[in-house]
Amino acid sequence: MSFLTVGGVTKRFGGLSANDDISFEVARGEIVGLIGPNGAGKSTLFSCIAGYHPVTSGTIDFDGKRISGLPPEAICRRGVARTFQIARVFKEMSVLENVMVGAFLSTSSRGEAEAHARAVLGRVGLSGKAEAFARSLTVSEQKRVQLARALATRPKLLLLDEVMAGLTPQETAEAVALVRSFRGDGITMVIVEHVMEVVMPISDRVVVLDYGKKIAEGAPEEIVRNELVIKAYLGEKRGAKH
Amino acid sequence: MAATAWGGRGFRYSLYGALFAAALVYPFVFRQPFPQDLAIKIFLFGGLASAWNVLGGFTGQVSLGNAIFFGVGAYAAAVVQTQWGWTPWAGVLLGMAAAVGIGVLIGYPCFRLKGHYFAMATLVIGEVVSTLFMNWKWVGGAIGVYIPIRDDTWKYYQFGTTKLPYYYVMLAFLVSALVLSAALLRSRMGFYFRAIREDQDAARSLGVPARRYKLAAMGISAALTSVGGSLYAQYVLFIDPHSVFPMMLSIQVVLIAILGGVGTLWGAVVGAVILIPLSEFTRIYIGGTGSGLDLIAYGLLIVVISVIQPRGILGFFRKAGAA
């Protein structure tokens, strides 16, 4: 049975269709990569799923219930957590406090929230930075803070928006290992990346967007051979050769 | 949990204890009315700035209309006496309830606005409320309300022969505001307030119902400010719209909080300890009718502080994590 169902979602900003009739399903425990060139509508779709943008038409169901139309905080309470493409940490709070905000979703006890937050920080390798202000961290560390914060809400579905963009190869490898480890916790994931090399090895399935439309869907090895996808990324073959 | 530059918890608590003890004996050392009056004003404004800080500092919703709640509290304490012969303490409770109601009424539409627009909206509403009271005959209109003078009494909270009761009640007001703020900062609500201030969208993505928490911050700020207004009315025994709804009061509490350190626990106190005496002394020594030199000195200090330490005076002592 499908865990997340995106059913014919269209999102228009004025005359521009950022998402045009997009449908796909994600099964429980699956990792689905959502790829496409810049401006394909990946982040917009994430924002629709997470409740930041009301959909213009179409429906989104999660865990058997309709979530389209709910505000972001209600969707988070249902078990959907997200990260933002540009790390949006709480700058004037410590790293630990950032993660505690997430942890407070499931407890009102400060002690419990702190213990849970410290455990999550250990998991993402930020224990040493717990007391530092979030603003003093590097971009890569801020991205991990975001991830930890989202994880601390104990999500069932995690929407990761370019968590690996801008990282060094070493950092990317660590991030990939980390994301893989979440699967062991039974967390379903949808991962947006525009770097194909990152998404392919960790995804069970890949959905490809271009100009707001879904142009392909399938296993990673099929997607890399798909004519439409190659065209979307590289343009016409002749043009790509210069 | 968070590191501070001032050493451990034991040291901090002994410092608080020493400060509190000093505040308790102060009126026995300074027996003249002026220093006692000065301390009462410091406590009042420290408490008001602390109340503003819950909304403006912790939650980041800069209100320029907190005089509304001050005035509502002042009028509630006064009017229950003149109209119904009740004790002003009943007015304190009524004022708090009215202030929370008005705060929610203002907050509900205005929290759709962000940043400067929220500040502008509260500023304008403050002026509207002031004008309404100016024209509301039942509460004395522009003439205001004289609270009938009585002999010294706790029931009607009036003391003509001594300032000590006013002193200690105002101290209790400030201490309550600080204790409440400290408890808030340690609680889930305080974490959610600060998360909303830092990034409302990111906070909502973590399950924080931002609108409801902003209304809660508004309610707490309004109720506390209203108590300050009620106590002030009993202290001066005469109120009118000019004295309890002035825009200057709204701005002054913001300045005190910002000068001391916005969003911090002690900023309001530090700011009041510096700005209130400064404003009193400059008025006495260089004030004079119409010269406005006192306001220039006042403004100059704020400019200097915001240039050298935008985080406020407490910013000099801050290391990491501390709220």
Cβ contact B210–A73 (<8 Å): yes
Q: Which residue of A has its CA nearest to B321?
A: A94
Q: Which residue of B has its CA nearest to A154?
A: B206
**Kind and range of the H or E element at B90?**
helix B88-110
For A219, the 3-state DSSP assignment is coil
Overall average pLDDT of the A123-138 stretch: 94
pLDDT in tens, A207-219: 999 999 999 999 9
What is the β-pairing status of strands A65-66 and A80-82? unpaired
Per-residue pLDDT at B269 exceeds 70: yes
Cβ contact A131–B207 (<8 Å): no
- Which pLDDT score, from 0 to 100, does residue B123 have? 93
Q: Give A185 to chain B, closest Cα distance, Å.
A: 19
Overall average pLDDT of the B56-70 stretch: 95
| Residues of chain A with C-beta less than 8 angstroms from the C-beta of B205 | 50, 72-73, 76, 81-82, 84, 150
User: Which residue of B58, B205, B208, B262 to mutate against A (max A Cβ within 10 Å)?
Assistant: B205
Phi, psi of A23 (to 5 degrees): -130, 135
Domain count, chain B: 1
Per-residue pLDDT at B93 exceeds 80: yes
- Which pLDDT score, from 0 to 100, does residue A175 have? 85
Would you call B76 exposed, middle or buried from its count of C-beta atoms within 10 A (0-12, 13-18, 19+)? buried
Assign domain A1-79+157-242 to a CATH class. Answer: alpha beta
Cβ contact B321–A50 (<8 Å): no
- Which pLDDT score, from 0 to 100, does residue A190 have? 96
Q: Which residue of A has its CA nearest to B60?
A: A92
Per-residue pLDDT at B282 exceeds 90: no
Q: Which residue of B has its CA nearest to A130?
A: B321
Average pLDDT in chain B:
90
- Which pLDDT score, from 0 to 100, does residue A165 have? 79
Per-residue pLDDT at B5 exceeds 70: no
Strands ordered across the beta sheet of A213-218: A80-82, A157-161, A188-192, A31-35, A205-210, A213-218
User: Looking at the partner chain, which of A72, A92, A132 has a beta carbon nearest the beta carbon of B205?
Assistant: A72
Q: What is the DSSP string of B123-179?
A: HHHHHHHHHHHHT-GGGTGGG-EEPPP-SSBTTTTB-SS-SHHHHHHHHHHHHHHHH
Q: Which residue of B has its CA nearest to A77?
A: B207
Contacts (Cβ under 8 Å, ≥6 apart) of B22: none
Picking from B53, B27, B22, B37, the residue whose alpha carbon sits closest to that of residue B283 is: B37
- Which pLDDT score, from 0 to 100, does residue B116 have? 84
| Residues of chain A with C-beta less than 8 angstroms from the C-beta of B202 | 84, 88-90, 149
Rounded distance, CA A142 to CA A161, Å?
Answer: 14
Establish if B3 belongs to a structural domain: no
Per-residue pLDDT at B288 exceeds 70: no
Contacts (Cβ under 8 Å, ≥6 apart) of B308: none
Q: Write down the H helix ranges in A152-219.
A: 169-183, 196-202
Cβ contact A104–B191 (<8 Å): yes
| Residues of chain A with C-beta less than 8 angstroms from the C-beta of B193 | none
Rounded distance, CA B293 to CA B288, Å?
Answer: 8
Residues of B in CB contact (< 8 Å) with A are 1-3, 186-188, 191-192, 194-195, 197-199, 201-210, 263, 320-321
Q: What ipTM describes this predicted complex?
A: 0.91
Establish if B280 belongs to a structural domain: no
Q: Name which of A188-192, A231-235, B14-18 the model is least confident about.
A: A231-235
User: Which residue of B189, B206, B212, B311 to mutate against A (max A Cβ within 10 Å)?
Assistant: B206
Per-residue pLDDT at A236 exceeds 70: no
| Residues of chain A with C-beta less than 8 angstroms from the C-beta of B197 | 92
Domain carrying residue B81: 32-246
Cβ contact B198–A76 (<8 Å): no
More confident call, B144 vs A237:
B144
Query: Taking a C-beta distance cutoff of 8 angstroms, is the pair B119, B62 a contact?
Result: yes
Q: Give A216 to chain B, closest Cα distance, Å.
A: 29
| Residues of chain A with C-beta less than 8 angstroms from the C-beta of B198 | 89-93
Cβ contact B191–A88 (<8 Å): no
**Percentage with pLDDT > 90 across chain B:** 72
Q: Give A211 to chain B, closest Cα distance, Å.
A: 26
- Which pLDDT score, from 0 to 100, does residue B303 have? 82
Cβ contact A93–B209 (<8 Å): no
| Residues of chain B with C-beta less than 8 angstroms from the C-beta of A150 | 205-206
**Percentage with pLDDT > 70 across chain B:** 94
Rounded distance, CA B150 to CA B178, Å?
Answer: 32
For B189, the 3-state DSSP assignment is helix
Burial annotation A141-169 (CB, 10 A radius, 16+ → b, else e):
bbbbbbbbbbbbbbbbbbbbbbbbbebee
- Which pLDDT score, from 0 to 100, does residue B7 have? 61
Rounded distance, CA B318 to CA B323, Å?
Answer: 9
Establish if B136 belongs to a structural domain: yes
Picking from A42, A71, A108, A223, the residue whose alpha carbon sits closest to that of residue B203 is: A71
Cβ contact B320–A132 (<8 Å): yes
**pLDDT confidence bin for A194, thresholds 50/70/90:** confident
Per-residue pLDDT at A56 exceeds 80: yes
Rounded distance, CA A102 to CA A82, Å?
Answer: 11
Overall average pLDDT of the B264-274 stretch: 93
Establish if B102 belongs to a structural domain: yes
CA-based R_g, chain A, Å:
18
pLDDT in tens, B175-205: 999 999 999 999 999 999 999 999 999 999 9
| Residues of chain A with C-beta less than 8 angstroms from the C-beta of B194 | 90, 92-93, 97
Cβ contact A92–B263 (<8 Å): yes
Phi, psi of A238 (to 5 degrees): -60, -45
Rounded distance, CA B158 to CA B146, Å?
Answer: 13
pLDDT in tens, A9-29: 999 998 888 999 999 999 999
pLDDT in tens, B195-246: 999 999 999 999 999 999 999 999 999 999 999 999 999 999 999 999 999 9
**Structure-block tokens of residue B60:** 């980041």
**pLDDT confidence bin for B113, thresholds 50/70/90:** confident
**pLDDT confidence bin for A241, thresholds 50/70/90:** very low
Domain boundaries of chain A, sorted by first residue = 1-79+157-242, 87-154
Overall average pLDDT of the B73-87 stretch: 95
